[in-house]
Amino acid sequence: GGGRDPAYLEGLNPEQRRAVETVDGPVLVLAGAGTGKTRVLTTRIAHIIATGRAAPHQILAVTFTNKAAREMRHRISALVGGTVEGMGWLGTFHSIGTKILRRNAELVGLKSDFTILDTDDQLRLMKQIIQAENLDEKRWPARQLAALIDTWKNRGLTPDKVPASEGRGFANGRGQELYAAYQDRLKVLNAVDFGDLLVEPIRLFRTHPDVLADYQRRFRYMLVDEYQDTNVAQYLWLRLLAQSNPNICCVGDDDQSIYGWRGAEVDNILRFEHDFPGAAVIRLERNYRSTAPILAAASHLIAHNEGRLGKTLFTDRRDPEAALVTVASSWDSNEEARAIGDEIESLQRKGHKLDEIAILMRASFQMREFEDRFVTLGLPYRVVGGPRFYERMEIRDALAYFRATVQPADDLAFERIVNTPKRGLGEATIKLCHDTARARRIPLMAAAADLIDTEEIKPKARATLRDLLGAFAHWRADLDTRPHHELAETILDESGYTEMWRQDRSADAPGRLENLKELIRSMQDFESMTSFLEHVSLVMDAESDANQDAVTLMTLHGAKGLEFDTVFLPGWEEGLFPHQRSLDEGGRAGLEEERRLAYVGLTRARKRAYVWFASNRRVHGMWQTSVPSRFLDELPEDHVNVRESGGAGGYGGYGASRFDRSDSFGSRYTTPGWERARERTRDASGGPRPMSAPAARLRSGGATIEGELVAKSVVDGG
């Protein structure tokens, strides 16, 4: 040595520095949130380039999202000083897999211009295969097959490798056969699905050792961020590439493994040490991100998990001004959104940038309340990592049903749902409706009504169309007589739309059902279906531009790896967080994954963390007492500031114990899933009567009512 250290190494602590400089051989960096794992990876790449060990195109670097890849690219350039060109292999597993496949398509029976199917195409294809096999589609829905094939692909299993016992659950033991048929069909179409972007490169490497050797030589250094969330297929893929020349560095945190439900395996961390004997395992223990109270809260919480590899975390930030973690409650989620909106406006008045504020939620349906509120306030926000609430597929579908009910001339709405769920109305029928509508200059629905009395459409389609038009007529007639939110629910039930998602076995289906329930629930705040639809178009219209200073709204799952000065964590209630579904399906493991999600949430915050819960939720027009999340009890008292709730005069649900979890029905509330909550309302004859919405508002204080009226008039007047 002797010479001065390059600038990019300055400021690293000794362990970080070791992780950066141990470039040869396998390295595993196992460390808690905010300890600089991603920074180490980035610096390591800069180091490899700066010392001439490899050219940028010889480095394979895997990030969890495309956004993270862009950021990393940016930072490497900054570290090296100048733009780094040619980091062509920096991206997600899927983007890198795509690139490998395009280069070697012929070897796996594809052409290099293959298409990547979206979920819809994928389902259509599976459905064709199920039909071709003369299977009952109702009994064996395409979505279920899709989910099954997906789990196999996550485990790197091609059809021939699926254990015989595993296909039994589907179509009397024909799952595996259908998987093979599906893959054959994809080849004919020169197409791949998302899972193939992982599995096909593995197959390529296994069947063409020369190609594998070529990539092994090319990738002199390999780096993987968020390693704890890789699945088996991704692991196999890495291991194949790292076999001959294992300059591989994986960084991760077992406490942040939050994609188990999508096939991620924390065990990959243990496998790494086994498969790469002699791997340097480096632990980083100093957290640079968060203040002491935030770190204490997160560490204390995660200590309740049993299945941990064990790590320590410390900070030597001595910041006497550091804010404690705030725990606050509101009467309901509506007030929660209002209170958080107020808090954000007050931060903004004190000079904080909105870009540095995030609201991280457990479920996407929670977003609705915040979006509505922020539009009312004119507070700029952006939804990151997914569509905005009203732009979600299931919400757009539902809205199309409502629009077509209210406005029979709304062709776009009618067209959207005429065959959703699938009713067997083919393209020919729909085209005929279109032609007729255009020729006679009448709306689509009117054209359809004319056509069902003619012989132009096949009898079966005619009957289906007649039923559908009849249903719309019937719903429309109810518009003036039934409460619109009840009618909305009926529409989604009778049309088969809700059922379609209930039958769906894919991982996102339950979330979509929750979103639909939230949609119906939110309709109660409006006078009529029409005023609700007007409100929606208003919110949809409030497009904030990308460069504007704005609050970030996202799910906890999407927030991994990110950091913000201020983080709001709403909805810490039993059943929502921890989520009932995880508890029901995953038991103890499910609970621990939820707790890791809470840990991820808290550790996103640099300076301020606010945990919130609503004391009540409205389910099907009834008020339900909700129970504060058990995770609140797991926060260390010394580092938490419990804020008495505002206008509600301590109606926050805090009882004798810090967070009282006995509910008004006198029993421990353990299963507040929406369905159960609904059942409970029905047979809760002994308990106190659920409050009506106005009564609830009254109890939450005058100021709130005024706030509500102001909010409403702004929305209605717009």
Q: Is 400 known to sit in a ligand binding site? A: no
Query: Among all residues, whose Cβ is closest to ligand ATP?
Result: 36
Query: Among all residues, whose Cβ is closest to Mg ion?
Result: 38
Q: Is 213 known to sit in a ligand binding site? A: no
Least distance in angstroms from the C-beta of 351 to Mg ion? 28
Least distance in angstroms from the C-beta of 486 to ligand ATP? 45
Least distance in angstroms from the C-beta of 685 to ligand ATP? 49
Q: How many CB atoms lie within 10 A of CB 279?
A: 18
Question: Rounded to an integer, what distance in angstroms lies between the CA atom of residue 337 and that of residue 617?
Answer: 13
Residue 236 interacts, among Mg ion, ligand ATP, none and using kind-specific CB cut-offs from 5 to 8 Å, with none
Q: Which of 150, 196, 225, 394 is catalytic?
A: 225
Residue closer to ligand ATP, measured from CB, 596 or 680: 596
Least distance in angstroms from the C-beta of 276 to ligand ATP? 21
Residue closer to ligand ATP, measured from CB, 35 or 700: 35
Least distance in angstroms from the C-beta of 561 to Mg ion? 4
Residue 35 interacts, among Mg ion, ligand ATP, none and using kind-specific CB cut-offs from 5 to 8 Å, with ligand ATP
Tokens in use for 476? 């429309």
Q: Partners of 576 in the beta sheet? A: 579
Q: Which of 604, 606, 607, 617 is catalytic?
A: 604
Residue 12 interacts, among Mg ion, ligand ATP, none and using kind-specific CB cut-offs from 5 to 8 Å, with ligand ATP
Q: Is 35 known to sit in a ligand binding site? A: yes
Least distance in angstroms from the C-beta of 73 to ligand ATP? 15
Residue 498 interacts, among Mg ion, ligand ATP, none and using kind-specific CB cut-offs from 5 to 8 Å, with none
Strands (E), 215-277: 221-224, 248-252
159 binds Mg ion (CB under 5 A): no
Tokens in use for 316? 């030597």
Residue closer to ligand ATP, measured from CB, 101 or 258: 258
Residue closer to ligand ATP, measured from CB, 8 or 501: 8
Comparing CA positions, the residue from 637, 655, 641, 651 lying closest to residue 610 is 641
In eight-state DSSP terms, residue 493 is H
In eight-state DSSP terms, residue 6 is P
38 binds Mg ion (CB under 5 A): yes
Residue closer to ligand ATP, measured from CB, 125 or 258: 258
State yes or no: is 226 an active-site residue.
Answer: yes
Considering only the C-alpha atoms of the chain, give the largest distance between any 2 of them, rounded to a whole number of Å: 92
Residue closer to Mg ion, measured from CB, 38 or 291: 38
State yes or no: is 37 an active-site residue.
Answer: yes
Q: Partners of 313 in the beta sheet? A: none
Residue 624 interacts, among ligand ATP, Mg ion, none and using kind-specific CB cut-offs from 5 to 8 Å, with none
Residue 16 interacts, among ligand ATP, Mg ion, none and using kind-specific CB cut-offs from 5 to 8 Å, with ligand ATP
Region binding Mg ion by CB under 5 A among candidate stretches 372-380, 422-430, 558-566, 657-665: 558-566
Burial class (CB in 10 A: 0-12, 13-18, 19+), 193: buried
CA distances from 104 to 113, 211, 237, 398, 600 (A): 11, 9, 15, 43, 38
Q: Which long-range contacts (CB under 8 A, 24 or more apart) does 137-144 make?
A: 140/170, 140/171, 141/503, 141/504, 141/505, 143/503, 143/504, 143/505, 143/506, 143/509, 144/170, 144/503, 144/505
Query: What does the binding site for ligand ATP look like in residue numbers (CB under 6 A)?
Result: 11-13, 16, 31, 33-39, 253, 256, 288-289, 561, 563, 603
Question: Rounded to an integer, what distance in angstroms lies between the CA atom of residue 507 and that of residue 261?
Answer: 8
* Cβ–Cβ < 8 Å for 365, 514: yes
Comparing CA positions, the residue from 667, 685, 654 lying closest to residue 330 is 654
Q: Is 590 known to sit in a ligand binding site? A: no
What's phi and psi for 521, nearest 5 deg? Answer: -60, -45
Q: Is 33 known to sit in a ligand binding site? A: yes
Least distance in angstroms from the C-beta of 283 to Mg ion? 15
122 binds Mg ion (CB under 5 A): no
Residue 36 interacts, among Mg ion, ligand ATP, none and using kind-specific CB cut-offs from 5 to 8 Å, with ligand ATP
AA identity, residue 134: N
Residue closer to ligand ATP, measured from CB, 394 or 563: 563
Q: Is 36 known to sit in a ligand binding site? A: yes
* Cβ–Cβ < 8 Å for 647, 701: yes
Number of residues that bind Mg ion (CB under 5 A): 3
Q: Which of 15, 16, 38, 44 is catalytic?
A: 38
State yes or no: is 256 an active-site residue.
Answer: yes
Q: Which residues contact 481 (CB under 8 A, 6 or more apart)?
A: none
Q: Is 587 known to sit in a ligand binding site? A: no
Q: Which of 37, 392, 560, 661 is catalytic?
A: 37
Least distance in angstroms from the C-beta of 356 to ligand ATP? 12
State yes or no: is 38 an active-site residue.
Answer: yes
Question: Rounded to an integer, what distance in angstroms lies between the CA atom of residue 600 and that of residue 301?
Answer: 11
> How much of the chain is helix, strand and coil, in % rounded to 5?
55, 10, 35
Question: Rounded to an integer, what distance in angstroms lies between the CA atom of residue 178 and that of residue 135?
Answer: 11
Q: Is 38 known to sit in a ligand binding site? A: yes
Residue 194 interacts, among ligand ATP, Mg ion, none and using kind-specific CB cut-offs from 5 to 8 Å, with none
Residue closer to ligand ATP, measured from CB, 16 or 234: 16
Q: Which of 16, 230, 256, 436 is catalytic?
A: 256
Residue closer to Mg ion, measured from CB, 289 or 388: 289
Question: Rounded to an integer, what distance in angstroms lies between the CA atom of residue 556 and that of residue 711?
Answer: 28
Helices (H), 63-113: 66-80, 93-103
Radius of gyration, CA atoms only, the chain: 28
> Of these, 561, 571, 601, 652, which contacts Mg ion (CB under 5 A)?
561
Tokens in use for 130? 């199920």
Residue 39 interacts, among ligand ATP, Mg ion, none and using kind-specific CB cut-offs from 5 to 8 Å, with ligand ATP
Comparing CA positions, the residue from 197, 195, 210 lying closest to residue 105 is 197
Least distance in angstroms from the C-beta of 35 to Mg ion? 9
* Residues contributing to the annotated binding site for ATP: 31-38
Q: Which residues bind Mg ion (CB under 5 A)?
A: 37-38, 561
Tell me the binding residues: 31-38
Residues annotated as catalytic (active site), given as ranges: 37-38, 225-226, 256, 604
